[in-house]
Amino acid sequence: MQLIGAGLPRTGTLTQKLAFEMLGLGPCYHWVDVLADLNRVEQWERALDGQNPWEEILGGYESTADWPAGFFYAELVDAYPQAKVVLSVRDPERWEASFRETIWNMCFGGSLIRHLSAARAAVDPRWERYLRLVDRMFWTERGTFAGANATPEEMIVAMQGHEEAVKRVVPAERLLVWDVTEGWEPLCAFLGVAVPDEPLPHVNDRETFINRVAAGAIGALSAWQEARTSAAT
């Protein structure tokens, strides 16, 4: 493990994943790895229970970006003392709108993504377990937004609290505070590598997130309906 991403979701983390891998720090563990294999949820549950199964989860990975790994940045800083840390940041108002349209909407309110996610949870035990993991990381127990998350102001306060906590925990010589809009130069200087000839990749991770949740729900509901139809014939 060479690089730990400590930035919150919706701070350009899918762009970070691609950038880290382009710089030779791949594979990079990202939330999309969990969405692609929901059996990984059980590993992160054990991490939340304090078992620290880092090599089981991250063995073979050279970097991380996004949650769930970012939630455990403090534990990973201790587990991998040679690793550097990137705290990705973003304009607070833009971040809050993006976070609310994706992760918050998946869990609360009356949006389509919320209804699709709830319907999938009713027929897919692995998705229900995944949502419980999300609850624990964000909304309950020691979740990042457990105190308050109903209003934009509350979300931004929690975001800023997370950023300040990272700065307190991670030694300054191991930490880069980086906005992806700054481009390659700060990241490459921090890592001591050459700036690639290709531009920094830009990925619309909002659309990626929504599409993955929606496609997964539609697929699970279709499989559930097909199973019911087959059982009735």
- Which has the closest alpha carbon to 89: 176, 168, 148, 31? 176
Taking the C-alpha atoms of residue 4 and residue 71, their distance in angstroms, rounded to an integer, is: 11
What pTM did the predictor assign? 0.92
CA separation (Å) from 132 to 114, 127, 129? 14, 9, 5
Residue 231: the pLDDT is 79
- Write down the CATH superfamily of domain 3-232: P-loop containing nucleotide triphosphate hydrolases (3.40.50.300)
Backbone angles phi, psi at 117, to 5 degrees: -65, -45
Backbone angles phi, psi at 200, to 5 degrees: -60, 130
- Domain residue limits, the chain: 3-232
Residue 97: the pLDDT is 94
pLDDT in tens, the chain (233 residues): 999 999 999 999 999 999 999 999 999 999 999 999 999 999 999 999 999 999 999 999 999 999 999 999 999 999 999 999 999 999 999 999 999 999 999 999 888 999 999 999 999 999 999 999 999 999 997 899 998 888 999 999 999 999 999 999 999 999 999 999 999 999 999 999 999 999 999 876 677 788 888 888 888 888 888 888 887 77
Fill in the DSSP letter of residue 39. Answer: G
Residue 105: the pLDDT is 92
- Structure tokens, 130: 């995944």
Residue 230: the pLDDT is 80
137 contact partners, CB below 8 Å, separation of at least 6 = 48, 67, 68, 71, 143, 144
CB neighbour class for 73 (10 Å; exposed up to 12, middle 13-18, buried from 19): buried
